[in-house]
Amino acid sequence: MDELTKRLADDQPVEVGGPKPTLAELRTRLEDIGTVFVKFTGTRGGTDLGIRLDRARSDLDAADFDQGSGSVHIEGTLILNDDPVRCIADIDLSTLKGTGRLVVVEEADLVG
């Protein structure tokens, strides 16, 4: 297992990442595109990961995008430095920040 994967396996501070880290962009990515960006801010320079959303494991029920309140539970998969991982993150919509971690999975479990 890669050293970065090991470090990100513990709960870490995260925020919405990507080229346009806004509430509107997050909503579009969650509802339409199916790929979200989660940035782990505790690494040197931050680690911005593109996550293939697992809609069955994610939960948007507590989100009020129109009011910018509530939270989302995001789960999705990617390969980080040759390690197949699941990213699990909880994001507060008022700040676009929260906590997240990575869990190593079998490559067959990657959302495709």
What's this model's pTM, rounded to 2 decimal places? Answer: 0.93
29/76 Cα distance (integer angstroms):
12
Question: Which domain does 51 fall in, by range?
Answer: 3-109
Residues in Cβ contact with 59 at an 8 Å cutoff, skipping those fewer than 6 apart:
72, 73
| pLDDT recorded at residue 109 | 73
Q: pLDDT band at residue 107, thresholds of 50, 70 and 90?
A: confident
Rounded CA separation 47/81 (Å): 12
Distance CA(18)–CA(86), nearest Å, equals 18
pLDDT in tens, 21-40: 999 999 999 999 999 999 99
The number of distinct structural domains making up the chain is: 1
Domain CATH for 87: 2.40.250.10
Q: Is the distance from CB of 4 to CB of 98 less than 8 angstroms?
A: no
Report residue 36 as tokens.
Answer: 């979200």
